[in-house]
């Protein structure tokens, strides 16, 4: 994977990202014309592109969902039950991905640590958060902190540090691949399905949070065959809550 830095892109930030993730960056005059999967940085931020499709995270698309009257009807927020925690409760999103679930949880009042180990997904998320911080989303962003690395390492030294741990490991089988949204077509080229979700769950349990929340496809088996204390299910997904 290469990060192409266009002349309008932020050189210092490209270097910072490259130093942190190990993704090499190359200043170029224009985006290459081949179909290789790559990151491209311009003054409009960072894009994942294969020359035909491109993807960039944008928390603005979630603004309607975080409006006061609507946020509490989000299945994720119902499952997390922020009102059962004290103000400023801490939450580790151990599978941050593109940060959309974290954004909803931060909007609901949690102080969220987002941890992502895939260098490309981390870069896209870091850029999404950077752009959002510069805009009207600052109050929510001020409750979000991003780490690069394997969340098992954070959890192993976290005894009691997090009130809630959230797990959304990628689920392997996707039978109706034709229905996958465009953005996932690109992202699925990056991350193999999580094979150690069970290990992640057992490390999360050993970190002694008050609650662990696991997102699953509605009819999937329990992660690690661990029966939850309760489940909140929607049409296609469910949240298994281990208290
Ligand atoms: C299904 S996605 C999460 C989507 C996310 N909930 C969202 O709202 O965008 C799963 C993500 O977890 C990351 N991941 C899986 N295991 C991890 C681990 N042990 N540490 C850090 N990140 C992990 C993967 O790289 C992938 O980006």
Q: What is the pLDDT of residues 12-32, one digit of tens each?
A: 999 999 999 999 999 999 999
pLDDT digits (tens, 9 = 90+) for 181-202: 666 777 777 756 556 788 999 9
Ligand 1: does its nearest atom lie under 6 Å from the Cβ of 117? yes
pLDDT on residue 234: 94
Residue appearing with tokens 């290469």: 2
H/E run at residue 25:
strand 25-27
More confident residue, 182 or 89: 89
**121 pocket-lining for ligand 1 (C-beta < 6 Å):** yes
Helix (H, G, I), strand (E, B) or coil at 179: helix
Domains and CATH numbers, the chain: 3-55 (3.40.1630), 59-242 (3.40.50.150)
Pocket test for ligand 1, best of 116, 195, 198, 207 (most atoms within 8 A of CB): 116
Mean pLDDT of 100-129: 96
Four-residue CA torsion sign, 181, 189, 39, 20: positive
The answer to whether 136 and 122 have CB atoms below 8 angstroms apart is: no
Strand ranges inside 58-208, DSSP E: 90-93, 111-116, 144-148, 164-167
């Amino acid at each position: 994977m290469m990060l192409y830095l266009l002349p309008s892109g932020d050189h210092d930030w490209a270097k910072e990202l490259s130093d942190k993730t190990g993704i090499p960056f190359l200043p170029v005059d224009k985006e290459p014309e081949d179909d290789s999967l790559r990151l491209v940085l311009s003054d409009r931020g960072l894009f994942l592109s294969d020359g035909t499709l491109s993807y960039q995270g944008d928390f603005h698309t979630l603004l309607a969902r975080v409006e006061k009257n609507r946020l509490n009807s989000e299945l994720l927020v119902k499952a997390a039950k922020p009102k059962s925690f004290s103000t400023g409760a801490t939450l580790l999103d151990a599978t941050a991905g593109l940060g959309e679930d974290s954004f909803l949880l931060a909007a609901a009042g949690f102080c969220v640590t987002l941890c992502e180990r895939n260098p490309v997904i981390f870069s896209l998320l870091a850029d999404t958060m950077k752009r959002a911080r510069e805009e009207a989303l600052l109050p929510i962003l001020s409750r979000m902190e991003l780490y690069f690395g394997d969340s098992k390492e954070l959890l192993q030294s976290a005894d009691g540090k997090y009130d809630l741990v959230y797990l959304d490991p990628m689920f392997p089988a996707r039978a109706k691949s034709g229905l996958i949204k465009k953005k996932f077509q690109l992202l699925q080229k990056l991350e193999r399905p999580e094979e150690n979700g069970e290990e992640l769950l057992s490390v999360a349990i050993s970190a002694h949070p008050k609650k662990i929340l696991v997102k699953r496809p509605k009819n999937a088996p329990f992660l690690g065959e661990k029966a939850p204390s309760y489940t909140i299910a929607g049409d296609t997904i469910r949240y298994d809550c281990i208290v």
